[in-house]
Each structure stands twice: as structure tokens, then as C-alpha cells.
Structure 1
Amino acid sequence: MSLTDAPTLPLGGPTLPQERRLVTAIPGPRSQALLARKAQAVSAGVGHTVPIEAVAAGGGVVVDADGNSLIDLGSGIAVTTVGNAHPKVVEAVQAQVAQFTHTCFMVSPYESYVAVAEALNRLTPGDHEKRTALFNSGAEAVENAVKIARKHTGRPAVVAFDHAYHGRTNLTMALTAKAMPYKSGFGPFAGEVYRAPLSYPFRDGLDGPAAARRAISVIEKQVGAAGLAAVIIEPIQGEGGFIVPADGFLPELVRWCRENGVVFIADEVQTGFARTGAMFASELFGIVPDLVTTAKGLAGGMPLAAVTGRSEIMDASHLGGLGGTYGGNPVACAAALAAIDVFENEGLIPRARAVGDILVSRLTALQQQDARIGDVRGRGAMVAVEFVLPDTGEPDAALAAAVAKACIADGVIVLTCGTYGNVIRFLPPLAIPDELLSEGLEVVARALATS
């Protein structure tokens, strides 16, 4: 497809062709030059997945400094769900920047923070009275959710789950299960954090109620409800491998928490905002969390996060106990209000389901042809494949890495994940055209066939 023939999407300015285009090998010379500068200027601990210098992005593509156009099946790790540089987000950000960039809400409040809180109170699961507090990142939201739960209950302990990912701060590293690269060498970690077994249907074979009984038994024996402030879980795990719990698992956990005065926290940082074919993944499982953490897709690429939940829990903190200099920055709030408008009024929830249908159909067809794909799972536009050794079912991380590397070299951005490193996750922006998504999956198929 030529540059002039490719379909385009608006970027709030020039249009960007929706095509996969390789002008150079990846990385090209300009990208190589930037990566050389990165090696000299940026901490070695800050890695990157795709060796390019990004200069533009929109719809379903990322364009690099060498003129290569890559199909984006990662959305910056589920951030640009509405599409990168969505015109409504761009317009809202530009208008707010022209007014003021910061006052600190705790010093001089402004309307957009309150409007975002009102929207989250309305959109998150449950019709009970709610309150919201805004922060900067998913990890910060999780940390504050735990603070709030501890303050409300007067209890210290928190339970997270196998394969969990909740962030990179000291407390959230303790909640996160995977050692490398997130925890190794960074301890000691925050105390009073315990771990329970997750429902992992592909590997444990348990139905939801049985998996819940197993988890609750571990919690009761190793922690005890009397000292437990909160249970925190991703309704569908993200970094842990897009693990979808068996039906009945989450409702049983919620029931146990209610009976024992334990705050149930749903970490919807990756699953929130239409990604799973519902506004929040909790809806798919019929649960109403006490607290919900959000970030990533909330503000169309701007840094913003939130804790939303029952008013009596959220109001437990003393005055001044919550906040932060940049939390609820006005530019990020303007972006969030625009993104929420897009989620609600541009059909993104059914669009996520349609994208998911394409992903599952194509990947399931690949699975039927290749026994190395052990599982295809996910909801909406949050889908993954788990690679295994066919003879044993053991995780095959080397294959996942090889397929991802081949895809990137062929102009398609994909991301690996999973506790065992053997999962490739698909998180395309919902603005991606169907034909571009299909082409990206053809590249994945080609990479698998040659790996």
C-alpha cells in the first residue's frame, strides 16, 4: 500500500497513514543514534521493548524517525485505548495548557478535578455513594487504596495473589508476585503483605468456587480475617499473563470479604475503560468492589490515576492524609474528561468486543494449527496467547521472545508478559482499522511459523 493510498485518521492536525511501512531495517540509523544517546544518558535500569525513536502515533500505528510505520498492538501498555493523539484529547489538552498548567488542587482547587471524580463515581461498578481521589500513576493509586483500607478498618494486613502485578513502589513491589525484573535486589519490601493462590484455569483445572475455597483457606490459615484490611486483585491479570479467573472465583472472594469486614480492592489499572468490552472488567464477573484503582487508559496518554470507592471507606482518612503535588493535574484532568467522552459516546465498548472477536478468531485458528499455543484467552481487546512445550505443557519463554522479536523486526509492536515469560499480549488501540489489525495478526502468524 502506498503512502497516498493508505487510510488515514485525524491527529488533531495532519493525518497519519494507517499502514505498516518499512523504509529501513529496525532500528534504522536515526533510531540507532537515539538509542546510543539513551545508553549514555539514561539509567541502564530503564529498558525498552521496541528499538525505535517514536516521532508520531495515531490510530493503529507508531511512526519512527526513519519513516517506518509500525502496527501498534500494545497501546503503550493499554494506555492509548482511545487512540494516540485523539482529536478530542488533543483539543482539551491544548485548551487547558493555554489557561494554566498547575496550581496544585490541594492549594487552589479547580473544576476539572471535581468533574473527573464525578465521572468516576458514576461509571465505576455499583450504585452506592462514592468518593474519588486522584493521583499520578497506577502504583500510586494502589498504594493509596491500601492506605485508605488500612485507615478504614484499623487493620494492617493485605492479601494479593499469585501472578499479580500492582506496581514498582516499595509497597506495590511487595504486592507484585514476579521477581525479575520488578523486585530482584530492591528489598526489603513493605511488611504485612501476604499471597494467596489465583484461579488459573489453564494450569490448575479448578472451577471458580473450588479455586476460591482454596484461596480463602490459605487466607484464613496464614493471615486470618481479624487482622486483614484488604484483598486486592486484578479482575483479569495483566503482567501476570492475562489470566482470566474461572467463573465464580471473584464473587466468592467478594462474598467472603463482605462477611469479614475486609475491603475488596479491584485493580482495574490495565482492565479499565472499555479495554475488556465493558467499562470495567469487574462488570464481566458480576462483582461490585469496595475500591477501584484506575490509571492507564483513563486520560488518553496523560499521567492520571484514581481511587474510587464507597464513601464511608474513602472518607475514613483524616484531612490532608491523601493527596500529592501533581495528583489530578489540570491538563491530565482535561484529557481524562475528553477520553471519558470518547469512551461513552463513540462506541468504544462494542468496538472493544469487535476487536476481541478478530483477535480470538485468528489466534484460535493459529492454535488449531500449532500445538505450541497452549491457550488463547482474554476479554474484549485484551487477549493473550500462552506458549508451551507441546510434549509437556511447560512454559516456553524462548518461543514467546522469538515471536515478539520477529514481529517487531517486521513492523508490528507486540508485548510479552506472564510470570514465566511465555505469553504474548495483544492490546491494540480501539481506533485501529480492522484491516490493519488483520495485517498485524498475519505478521504474528508468519513470525510463529518461522520461530
Structure 2
Amino acid sequence: MTTFLTETTTGGPALPQELRLVTEVPGPRSRELQARKSAAVAQGVGTTLPVYIAAAGGGVLVDVDGNSLIDLGSGIAVTTVGNSAPRVVTAVQEQAAAFTHTCFMVTPYESYVAVAEALNRLTPGDHQKRSALFNSGAEAVENAVKIARSYTKKSAVVVFDHAYHGRTNLTMAMTAKNMPYKSGFGPFASDVYRAPLSYPYRDSGIDGAAAAARAIDVIEKQVGAENLAAVVIEPIQGEGGFIVPADGFLAGLVDWCRVNNVVFVADEVQTGFARTGAMFACDHEGVVPDLIVSAKGIAGGLPLSAVTGRAEIMDAAHGGGLGGTYGGNPLACAAALAVIETIESDGLVERAAAIGDLMVDRLKTLAARDDRIGDIRGRGAMIAVELVKAGTNEPDPDLTKRVAAAAHARGVIVLTCGTYGNVLRFLPPLAISDALLAQACDILDDVFEETR
């Protein structure tokens, strides 16, 4: 395989931080690989952009044709500290040379404990905590529900409009959007109920407190606190459209949960680990969840997730009731510790906030001359624009697809999301330079002009 490294730094490759197109996107080698994928991989496994990657680092992905693309996706918020970040590479190499697996439930190892200790320190609240490690966000969400049910001795779970919690049977029931996540895959797990979210752009001026009261009214009437084990919510919704609830919405739900012996679970799979300009999105509103779920950015690209929470709740599950063969794999734990060191040593929480300021300023300038941008929202390096038909708030998914496709052709990787398919979302790695970010925004300006 052709490599595209220019120099080597300790722990990983250094790539030229530049947009470079030497073929069309996708190029001929990527098209060959896409044909092989079609013949070998199940058709249900789709790709946003059929460009096959040979190297990645900082703010770029380099494909097999030699194109260097600007990365505004981070593998869906996974490579937050940058792809092949030096500390992560070194830690994984050292761990792989020592041992790759023993199963923590059989013969444990220190790095699992160290990750749990770090999570207990970093997550919101100064109460006594415990953590348990798993493989994926969906698996961690399921275990949070198990733990809440064990603690409360109740079974019902409340989630929200536009939610995304995963693709397993229980988490599909918890996820709101039908296509592509749920269609044809039922029946789903029972005792899952949906409440209205605070969605400021589409809520006609309803503030956070009123939106919380509206949701609580639905919960009390349709579920009943006496039956409810957990309220599970993304503090900023991910796949649902990067919806930031109005101030006071989360706090109102937490207060109600405390009074009614309901476990408040924050799904921070996409928002955690510095992504939003705070270590966790709950920190922005001073909300302290009972349980918090993390994954994605936790381990720099290796599969790891966690549930962290109040010791008395986490310890409610019986011995042996939590775990899994690969949960807290030693390579992933080594990576997670290196990610945490990188975030704290390199000031990446502050960097995420700065990225957000830069992007929002550029997007507001664009929106001032293009009324198809209905809303700009997000926090830190988790920013989105909701696209609508000009002069209305009617969702425009076709425009969203055209803008994304045009950006891809120009070498900028952007993602779409939203219940209505009309949201462009931006999740740049925190290692991206201001120059690359500005160049990506320049291209987006051009793309919006071209798609008028």
C-alpha cells in the first residue's frame, strides 16, 4: 500500500495539513475498493463517502488515491484528539507488546481500574462514583438501563423525541428515527416511552422550564413515576440534529427525577470528552446526572465505552451482572488514558471552544446572506446548521444532500443528521488547524452559492 507520510514524530505519522486533490473524489482506486465492498460486505453497511483512507492525522484524511481531505467528521466524534495522536499511538504500541487481552472478568489489570478512576474524577459531581467499561455506546446505554432497573426495582424507561441511543434491540426502541435505524427490524423491547424534547428552533418560544413541565406532564400521565426506572437523554442530541435544549430544561428534569426516585441518565456518547468545550456537555448547565454514558471520543478510535455514576446506584447490580468478554480491553484502556492526558495537557477543552467560536462566526456570516440556513446551533466543536426552504422553516433534506455532496467533491468531509434529514453537522478533530478550518469554511461558502 502506498503511504503518504512526510516525516515521523514520536508516536505517530505527521501528515501535511493541507487540502490536496490529485484525482476526482472518489478517485479510481477508491472506486475499485468500493466495487470490492459491494461484492464482499453486507449491503446494509453503508458509507457516507466511498473514499478509502490510507492515512490520517491532525485535520486531514489521506485516501488511497493520494487526495488529502479536510476532516470535519472525526469518524462521528471519535477521533476528537486527532487520528493517530502521538500519545495514543505510543500507549497502544506499548500495551500491545505487553499483552492484548486477558478478559478483565478473569484476570484483571491496572489500566481498567485507572480508566475507572479517571472517569470518576472527570464526570460531573463530587459524590462517590463507580464506573464499568464496555465496548460501544449502545452497549453502555443498555447497561445503564440495567443498572437503573436494578437500583429502582422499576422497569419503565423514558426517552425523547429525536433521540438516538444505538442499534441494538433495546436501543433501537429508545431511538426515535425510523430510517435507517429501525425500519423492518422490530418488534422492539417494551416499556420504553417517548416524551417531547425542548427544541428551541421549532418550539415557538417555549423556554426550558416550560418545556420540562410539558415533558413531565406527559411522563406522569402516560408512564407514572411509580413505574419509571430511568429518564435517558442526550444533553445535546446527536443524530437527532445537534439540538441544544433551552436553558433549564435538563435541570427541570433532574429535579423531578430526584423527587421521584427516577435515575437520570445522560447519554454523552457523542458529547463527552471535550467535544462541546467542556469535558462533558452537562457541565455547561451545572447538571449532575445519576449515571453518565460515554464512548466515541473516549479512546481515540479504539472501541471503549463506560457507565459512570453514583456509587449506590452502580453497586446495585449483583456480582457478575455487569461485564462482557472484551469490555475494557487493555489496548482501549491504554488509549483512553492517553486521550485523557492529551486533553488535559494540550488544553483541548479550550481548543474545542475556540473552534466553535470560529465556525459559528463564519456560519453566521453565511446565514446573513442565505436564508436557507434556518438555525445555527451547538457547543464547542459540535456545531450544526439546519437547512430550510428559503423564507420558511420547512425542512429541506434535498438541499442538505446537495450541499454535503458538493463539499465532498471539493475535499471537505461533512456529515448530515436530523429527524428530517436537513441538518449539516460539523465535528472537526480538536487537532485541526485554524487555517484548515477557515479553508473548509471558504469551501462551504462557495458550495452554498453554487447550490442556489
Instruction: Compute the displacement of 1:286 (Å).
Output: 1.2
User: 2:170 — aligned with what?
Assistant: 171
User: 1:288 — aligned with what?
Assistant: 288
- SS of 1:167's partner is coil
Count of residues paired in the alignment: 447
Task: Map Cα deviations across residues 327-351 of structure 1 (whole Å, 9 max, x no partner).
Answer: 0000000000000001111100110
Decide whether aligned partners of structure 1 residues 20 and 238 sit closer, same or farther in structure 2, where only a CA change above 3 A counts.
same
Task: Map Cα deviations across residues 341-382 of structure 1 (whole Å, 9 max, x no partner).
Answer: 011111001100100001100001111010000000010000
Decide whether aligned partners of structure 1 residues 13 and 220 sit closer, same or farther in structure 2, where only a CA change above 3 A counts.
closer
User: 1:41 — aligned with what?
Assistant: 40
- SS of 1:17's partner is coil
* Counterpart code for 1:399: L
Structure-1 separation of matches of 2:14 and 2:215 = 51
- SS of 2:236's partner is coil
User: 2:235 — aligned with what?
Assistant: 235
- SS of 1:277's partner is coil
User: 1:77 — aligned with what?
Assistant: 76
Structure-2 separation of matches of 1:31 and 1:214 = 50
Q: TM-score, normalised by structure 2?
A: 0.97
Q: Does 1:346 align with 2:349?
A: no
Q: Is the 8 A contact 1:11 1:58 kept in 2?
A: no
User: 1:199 — aligned with what?
Assistant: 198
Q: Is the 8 A contact 1:11 1:85 kept in 2?
A: no
Structure-1 separation of matches of 2:152 and 2:376 = 39
* Counterpart code for 1:46: V
Instruction: Compute the displacement of 1:50 (Å).
Output: 1.4
- SS of 1:449's partner is helix
Q: Is the 8 A contact 2:416 2:423 kept in 1?
A: yes
User: 2:439 — aligned with what?
Assistant: 439
Q: Is the 8 A contact 1:233 1:267 kept in 2?
A: yes
Q: Is the 8 A contact 1:170 1:190 kept in 2?
A: yes
Structure-1 separation of matches of 2:8 and 2:412 = 19
Task: Map Cα deviations across residues 379-419 of structure 1 (whole Å, 9 max, x no partner).
Answer: 00000000001233110000111000000000000000000
Q: Is the 8 A contact 1:9 1:18 kept in 2?
A: no
Q: Is the 8 A contact 1:9 1:58 kept in 2?
A: no
User: 2:426 — aligned with what?
Assistant: 426
Residue pairs, 1:137-216, within 5 angstroms: 137-204=136-203, 205-216=205-216
Structure-2 separation of matches of 1:304 and 1:24 = 36
Structure-2 separation of matches of 1:348 and 1:14 = 20
Q: Does 1:307 align with 2:307?
A: yes
Q: Is the 8 A contact 1:156 1:227 kept in 2?
A: yes
Residue pairs, 1:310-349, within 5 angstroms: 310-349=310-349
Q: Which runs of 5+ in 1 are unaligned?
A: none
Q: Is the 8 A contact 2:273 2:280 kept in 1?
A: yes
Structure-2 separation of matches of 1:60 and 1:392 = 35
Task: Map Cα deviations across residues 91-132 of structure 1 (whole Å, 9 max, x no partner).
Answer: 000000000000000000000000000000000000000000
Q: Is the 8 A contact 2:165 2:175 kept in 1?
A: yes
- SS of 1:134's partner is strand
User: 2:225 — aligned with what?
Assistant: 225
Structure-1 separation of matches of 2:237 and 2:6 = 34
User: 2:117 — aligned with what?
Assistant: 118
Q: Is the 8 A contact 2:240 2:418 kept in 1?
A: yes
* Counterpart code for 1:48: T
- SS of 1:45's partner is coil
Q: TM-score, normalised by structure 1?
A: 0.98
C-alpha RMSD of the superposition? 1.3
* Counterpart code for 1:373: I
Q: Which runs of 5+ in 2 are unaligned?
A: none
Q: Is the 8 A contact 1:10 1:16 kept in 2?
A: no
Q: Is the 8 A contact 2:371 2:391 kept in 1?
A: no
